[in-house]
Amino acid sequence: MPRQAMLGNRVRRLRHRQGLTQVAMASQLGISPSYLNLIEHNQRSLNRPLLLKLSECFDIDLQAFSGNEEARLLADIAELFGDPLFRDIEIEAGELNELVGSAPAACQAFLALYRAYRNAREDLRGLSARLAEDPYLAASSHQLLTLLTSIRSFAEILHDNVDLAARKRQQFVAILVEESEKLTDLVNQLFEFITGEGFQDLRGADSPVDEVTDALHARHNHFPDLEDAADAARREIGLRKAGAFESLSAVLAERHGITVVLGAQDTGAEPEEGLNGERPCFGIPEALPASSATFRVARQIGLSTLGPLFEARLAETQLSTQAARDMYRRALASYFAGALLMPYDEFLEAACTLRHDIELLGRRFGVSFEQVCHRLTTLRRPGAEGVPFHFLRVDIAGNVSKRFSGSGLRIPRYGGTCPRWNVHGAFMRPGRIDRQLARLPDGATYFCIAKTETKSGGGYRAPSSHYSIGVGCEVSFAPQLVYADGMDLGNPEIAVPVGVHCRLCERRDCAQRAYPSFVR
Amino acid sequence: MTRSVLVVEDEPNIVDSLSFLMKQAGYGVQVARDGDAALRVMESRMPDLVLLDVMLPRRDGYDVCRAIRANPAWDGVKIIMLTAKGRELDRRKGLELGADDYVTKPFSTREIVERARKLLEGAEE
């Protein structure tokens, strides 16, 4: 079924918004009401002349009628039906088309529900992985087993030996009573552990980074009000790429009384209060690249101006610690900075025309490779969505310090990721773009690129930080990426078999396995 | 001649129950509370069967099993490993190291007697 054949629902919604009957709309379009009815029910496709007529008569966004969104939704739904959960449900491609065409909102709800289920399942796996490694529980289960073994054997001995000598019987009964008491104590302790602090620790041990990542995921890493605030601020400041740092610094100085001091000591997040009533200073280390310096000033403007907005977004979350709340505020400020320097519409358009060439995008907007990757994950505006990307940043020791699974690829929360992911291998070819077609055990295939970045610590003596930045998308989106050019995307032979994390991976024959699998 | 069983187990109550069961089945019983003690007992008087717990302090059951199988003087001694329930790998490891059989804790008393008898009577033929 062509994409245009799934647009019936859009036509019907447009007609309802216009308050028109089928007869009225059909006459405006110069077609018969019955033909319009067929279009609305996806029985006839919306051909190009008719689409043009539609845009002449009504003020419609042609992009919305491109069928792209429907195609993406269809891909999402089709992926969902690939889950073993639906193993026994036979659904044909045509049925999915119909479903997406006639009930897109229900499909979205279905997807949201499925994602919630996937997250819950992932959390459960993570939790059981941690339980399995908990030393207290390991010791307790051994004790439990010992007590049960002894109780069971004496109970059976007493049962099977009615003619046991009275003294012997008494001895065994005494053991039974004693062991049962110990068992009771142990079980009580275990309950206390599960309901009490021990378990709370285990659950609450989510790092602030994880909590914040989850909160961002819950919003699909897209914040319309921050986009609006960034658009408004950009217009007000008259921000341009050239001289962005200077004009943003001027705004900080004039409107917020904060002096940006280049080459000063790094004050990190917050401007320092000046001594003796001097104006607060915002120190930016000399070694910082220009793009990072600009980004920091932009973020500081967000922190200085958008307090109430940030608090409103914070109120929607359930972040458990002050550290997590502070980090979330900073993440929102960084989001704002990204939106300020890379305006949504302009960036989305550039991403399409430059075919997601990250380096070219960075140059066009005067931002770093990592900032572009980050911004790509935020293009989730309904009706104007970009390619759904995942994004992760690992350090040279393999620790994941940033992750966002926008493409549907699960990035594990606990422990390292699959060693076969090219985000790790990229360290062997520093500074070069590495590309990979990666296939997961469930058959889902992703196109991934990775590149290392070195952040100078400031001069020869200061240690540098090394990261590898990975972004990728589901393989069906790959042709929209310049990096996929010349790659035989349909060829399963060239896809690298990967997993998510060894513990969650069923590939028994993997030579790179680091941990035993929990998957049967 | 009375056949003899060496019970290697660190939990006193489980030692008591296994000793009772083996004596009742008509076997002589020796006891060792850890791996080193087990090998010392083996040297002074070789049993026909060893009931060997895996989770022993210091020297574990696998290690004892390996040591028994490495000594040609102890050829013919039967070994039943006592493993924790649900640990499939433990079971396989025990058998690979030369154990003749295994039972999982919490075991059934009838089953352990049955298995011991089978190994000991089988050896008589």
pLDDT of residue A204: 45
Domain B4-124 adopts which CATH fold?
A: Rossmann fold (3.40.50)
Q: What domains sit in chain A, N to C, each tagged with a CATH number? A: 3-110 (1.10.260.40), 134-204 (1.10.287.130), 207-358 (no CATH), 387-520 (3.30.450)
Task: Name which of A146, A152, A508 to mutate to probe chain B: the one with the most chain B Cβ atoms within 10 A of its Cβ.
Answer: A146
Q: How many CA atoms lie within 13 A of A422 on its CB side?
A: 23
Res A279: pLDDT = 67
Taking the C-alpha atoms of residue A469 and residue B86, their distance in angstroms, rounded to an integer, is 41
Which residue is it, tokens 């008491």?
Answer: A181
A153/B105 CB distance under 8 A: no
Sign of the torsion angle spanned by Cα atoms A283, A285, A291, A292: negative
Q: What is the pLDDT of residue B65?
A: 94
| Residue A473, strand partner residues | A389, A447
Cβ separation A150–B108 shorter than 8 A = no
Strands A465-474 and A389-395: antiparallel
**Angle subtended by helix axes A344-353 and A358-365, to nearest 10:** 140
Residue with token string 């549907």: A408
**Contact (CB<8Å) B109/A161:** no
> Which member of A142, A153, A160 has the closest CB to residue B55?
A142
Q: What is the pTM of this model?
A: 0.53
Contact of A518 with chain B, judged by CB distance below 8 Å, is answered with: no
The tens-digit pLDDT sequence of chain A (520 residues) is 455 557 888 898 899 989 999 999 999 999 999 999 988 888 888 888 888 888 888 888 777 787 777 877 887 787 777 777 877 877 777 788 888 888 888 998 888 888 888 878 877 887 777 777 777 777 788 888 889 999 999 999 999 998 889 999 999 999 999 999 999 888 888 877 776 555 554 444 457 787 888 888 888 889 999 999 999 999 998 888 888 999 999 998 888 888 888 775 555 555 555 445 566 778 888 778 888 899 999 999 999 899 999 999 999 888 877 888 999 999 999 999 999 999 999 999 999 999 999 999 999 999 999 999 999 999 999 889 999 999 999 999 988 888 888 887 877 765 568 999 999 999 999 999 999 999 998 788 999 999 999 988 777 888 889 999 999 999 999 999 999 999 999 888 899 999 887 766 778 889 998 877 655 4
**Residue from A44, A43, A45, A25 nearest A33 by CA:** A25
Residue A3 is predicted with a pLDDT of 52
Q: How far is B64 from chain A (nearest CA, A)?
A: 20
**pLDDT averaged over every residue in chain B:** 89
- The encoded tokens of residue A221 equal 């890493």
End-to-end CA gap in chain A: 38
Considering only alpha carbons, which residue of chain B is nearest residue A174? B13
By three-state DSSP, how is residue A121 classified? helix
* A147/chain B closest Cα distance in angstroms: 9
Residue A55, pLDDT score: 86
Torsion, CA B8, CA B11, CA B14, CA B15, rounded to 10: 50
Interface of B with A (CB under 8 A): 11, 13-14, 16-18, 20-21, 24, 55, 84-85, 105-110
Query: Are B107 and A150 inside 8 Å of each other by CB?
Result: no
- Judge whether A266 and A283 are in contact, CB under 8 Å: yes
Residues 6 or more apart whose CB falls under 8 angstroms from that of A397 comprise none
Phi-psi domain of A107 (left: phi exceeds 0; alpha: psi -120 through 50; beta: other):
alpha
Closest alpha carbon within chain A to B110: A156
Q: Are B12 and B24 in contact (CB under 8 A)?
A: no
Test mutation, A141, A143, A149, A164, chain B, max B CBs within 10 A: A149
In Å, how far from its chain's centre is CA A305? 27
DSSP sequence for chain B: ---EEEEE-S-HHHHHHHHHHHHHTT-EEEEESSHHHHHHHHHHS--SEEEEESS-SSS-HHHHHHHHHH-GGGTT-EEEEEEETT-HHHHHHHHHTT-SEEEEESPPHHHHHHHHHHHHHHHH-
Of B21, B24, B106, nearest to A149 by CB-CB distance is B106
What would the pLDDT profile of A95-128 be if each residue is shown by its tens digit?
A: 888 888 888 889 988 888 888 888 788 778 877 7
CA distances from A311 to A170, A300, A308, A338 (A): 69, 16, 5, 19
Q: Enumerate the residues of chain B whose CB falls inside 8 A of the CB of residue A508.
A: none
| ipTM confidence score | 0.85
A72's CB contacts (< 8 A; 6+ apart) are A385, A388
Q: Which DSSP category does A272 fall into? A: B
Q: What is the mean pLDDT of chain A?
A: 85
Q: Is A156 on the interface with B (CB under 8 A)?
A: yes
Contacts with A24 (C-beta within 8 Å, 6 or more apart), sequence order: none
Measured on CA atoms in the order A478, A484, A489, A492, is the torsion positive or negative?
A: negative
Q: Nearest-CA neighbor of A242 among A332, A364, A154?
A: A364
Measured between CA atoms, the residue of chain A closest to residue B108 is: A153
**CA–CA gap between residue A150 and residue A371 (Å, rounded):** 62
